[in-house]
């Protein structure tokens, strides 16, 4: 089978203008992935299945990338007026400033593809296909790849349930694991559990913290 980089060239040759990028994986597994833009995903997927031979979608899953806040210390020099020895002068002054930069997060759908048609062959890493949503809150739509690989049908429902990615074109997009009335997406990294603290005979550390919070909540309820 071709490597991800070779496939990237092949796809760009076959579909000019397709928005694709290679994401390298620094770990020893060296399973590199193709990042495909949402609008091109369906035709790329069809090409991969029908032409490139990736007829088997092994795994489909979601990943939540939080907004990343990076702080950097930057040294800036500016001219300031200062009184030096009683005389007002302009002096160069260097100050350290912390600059906050927010990298917007996203939700990601990851597909691991193999080829069954090729029959027994040398071990090859899976082809990893990734799609990213525009943000984590309101623009969370991606095209469903379940029309291409039926294997993604339940797995996309699971992603919808646990991560909240809305797959357009899925034939039956409902929650898979949680009940229908449930409103949260519990696999997101900022999900907060319901407060169902339970009595512990010897609370400590985190449990103690939760116990105290819980008690404060009960007290507040009682006072009402």
Partner 1 sequence: MTTAEMKSGIDSGIKSYLPPVIEVEAENELLEVAMGPHHPSTHGVFRMDVALDGERVVRLKPVFGYLHRNHEKLAEGTTYLASMPYTDRLDYFCSMTNNWAYALAVEKLAGLEVPERAEYIRVITAELTRVQNHASAIGFLMQEMGASGTPLMYAFREREKILDLFEALSGSRMMCNYMRFGGCRVDLPEGWLERTKKIVAELPRFIDEMEALLTGNEILMARAQGVGVLSPELAVNAGVTGVMLRATGVNYDVRKVDHYGIYDRFSFRVPLGEHGDIYDRYMLRVLEMRESVKILEQALPQIPDGPILDPKSKPRGFRPKPGEAYGRIEAPKGELGFYLISDGSGNPYRYRVRPPSLINLTILEDMCLGQNVADVVLIFGSVDIVLGEVDR
Partner 2 sequence: MAVESNLKIELGKQGVFVTTLNELYNWGRRNSVWPMQFGLACCAIEMIATTMARYDLARFGAEVFRPSPRQADLMIISGTVTKKMAPQVVRLYNQMAEPRYVIAMGACAISGGPFKQGYNVLKGIDRYIPVDVHIPGCPPRPEALIHAFMTLQKKIAAQPLTGEERPRHLDASAQGEFPVPEPGAHDLEPPVNRLVWPLPAPTVAAPAKEGA
Burial zone of 129 (CB within 10 Å; 0-12 exposed, 13-18 middle, 19+ buried): buried
Pairing status of strand 166-168 against strand 141-143: parallel
The answer to whether the CB of 21 falls within 8 A of the CB of 41 is no
Using the contact rule CB under 8 A, the part of the chain among 46-54, 68-76, 136-144, 216-224 near partner 2 is 216-224
How far apart are the C-alpha atoms of 96 and 55, rounded to whole Å?
A: 56
Token pair 């799609």 is at which residue? 131
* Closest approach of partner 1 to the CB of residue 43, in Å: 9
Residue nearer to partner 1 on the CB measure, 179 or 199: 179
- Confirm or reject binding of residue 116 to partner 1 (CB under 8 A): yes
- Confirm or reject binding of residue 166 to partner 1 (CB under 8 A): yes
In the numeric block, which tokens belong to residue 158?
A: 């699971």
| Residue in 182, 189, 190, 217 binding partner 2, rule: CB under 8 A | 182
Q: Binds 217, which of partner 2, partner 1, none (CB < 5 to 8 A, cut-off by type)?
A: none
All residues at 6 or more sequence positions from 108 whose CB lies less than 8 Å from its CB, including other chains: 62, 63, 64, 65, 130, 131, 132, 133
How far apart are the C-alpha atoms of 23 and 162, rounded to whole Å?
A: 25
* Closest approach of partner 1 to the CB of residue 164, in Å: 14
- Confirm or reject binding of residue 166 to partner 2 (CB under 8 A): no
Instruction: By CB under 8 A, name the binding residues for partner 2.
Output: 177-184, 186, 191, 193-194, 196, 198-203, 208, 211-212, 215-216, 219, 222-223
Instruction: By CB under 8 A, name the binding residues for partner 1.
Output: 25-29, 31, 42, 46, 50, 55-59, 61, 63, 110, 112, 116-117, 119-123, 125-126, 128, 143-144, 146-155, 166, 168-171, 173, 175-179, 186-187, 189
């Amino acid at each position: 089978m071709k490597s991800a980089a070779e496939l990237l060239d092949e796809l760009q040759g076959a579909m000019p203008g397709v928005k694709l990028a290679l994401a390298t994986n620094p770990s020893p597994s060296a399973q590199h992935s193709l990042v495909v833009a949402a609008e091109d995903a369906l035709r790329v997927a069809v090409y991969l299945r029908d032409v490139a031979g990736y007829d088997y979608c092994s795994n489909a899953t979601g990943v939540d990338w939080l907004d990343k806040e990076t702080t950097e210390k930057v040294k800036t020099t500016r001219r300031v007026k200062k009184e030096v020895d009683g005389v007002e002068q302009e002096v160069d002054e260097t100050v350290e400033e912390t600059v906050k930069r927010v990298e917007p997060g996203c939700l990601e759908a990851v597909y691991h593809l193999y080829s069954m048609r090729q029959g027994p062959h040398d071990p090859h890493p899976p082809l990893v296909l990734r799609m990213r949503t525009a943000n984590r809150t309101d623009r969370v739509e991606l095209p469903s790849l379940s029309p291409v690989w039926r294997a993604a049908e339940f797995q996309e429902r699971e992603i919808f349930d646990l991560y909240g990615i809305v797959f357009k074109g899925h034939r039956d997009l409902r929650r898979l694991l949680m009940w229908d009335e449930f409103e949260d997406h519990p696999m997101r990294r900022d999900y907060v559990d319901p407060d169902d603290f339970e009595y512990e005979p010897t609370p400590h550390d985190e449990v103690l913290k939760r116990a105290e919070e819980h008690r404060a909540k009960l007290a507040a309820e009682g006072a009402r």
